[in-house]
Amino acid sequence: MIAIRTLVLLALPLSLLACSARDSKKHPMKDEPADPALKVVKTNAEWKKELTPEQYRILRQAGTEPAHGKAYEEFKKQGAGTYVCAGCGALLFSSEQKFDSGCGWPSFYDPAKARNVRLSKDFSSGAVRTEVTCAVCGGHLGHVFEGEGFKTPTDRRFCINAGGLKYVPAAKP
């Protein structure tokens, strides 16, 4: 009887931790696409065939393009519209959340459709950062930074590689 009580008392904290971990997965920034059938899975050879070398380096190898590059200069000139993943076409950002942070890469203060953006811890630079990836195809997009003092509704900066995005202009009325 005492052994059962002890077992239950030991199991209770573990079950609470499991529940809290499950609840944290419901956070809209970490959700998978609503329909798992929408996941895009391809071989490296297929990705290399479909993407430019620069897109492949960014999206599939977690590369970073140079700051203030040609793609960024084009990004700055783009008007109303949306930004989709260059790898799979999933909606990621909107021009409504775009802002000029002065960092040399496209900046957004919030994703347009959070279910297509996944955040995860990135230890690759020797410091802990938050990596931004496409939840549909897993392509690396960039990183998100918080608390930098930008006067945006979220005080977050999604610092995104322009080469990982495709611009879709808004339809004209």
Provide the domain limits for residue 162: 29-169
In a domain, 58, yes or no: yes
Locate 74 and state its tokens.
């084009």
For residue 47, the domain's CATH number is 2.170.150.20
The answer to whether 159 is a known catalytic residue is yes
**pLDDT in tens for each of the 173 residues of the chain?**
554 444 333 443 333 333 333 333 333 334 444 455 579 999 999 999 999 999 999 999 999 999 999 999 999 999 999 999 999 999 999 999 999 999 999 999 999 888 899 999 989 888 899 999 999 999 999 999 999 999 999 999 999 999 999 999 998 77
What radius of gyration do the chain's Cα atoms show?
19
In a domain, 34, yes or no: yes
What strands, in cross-sheet order, belong to the sheet with 81-85?
A: 91-94, 81-85, 165-169
In a domain, 98, yes or no: yes
In a domain, 73, yes or no: yes
The DSSP bridge partners found for residue 129 are 122
**Other CB atoms closer than 10 Å to residue 33's CB: what's the count?**
18
In a domain, 108, yes or no: yes
pLDDT at position 94 is: 96
CA distance 109 to 94: 10
- How many domains are there within the chain? 1
In a domain, 16, yes or no: no
Contact yes or no for 106/81 (Cβ under 8 A): no
Catalytic pick among 85, 88, 137, 159:
159
CA distance 110 to 117: 10
Query: Which residue, among 119, 131, 136, 129, has the nearest Cα to 36 in the 3D structure?
Result: 136
In a domain, 111, yes or no: yes
In a domain, 11, yes or no: no
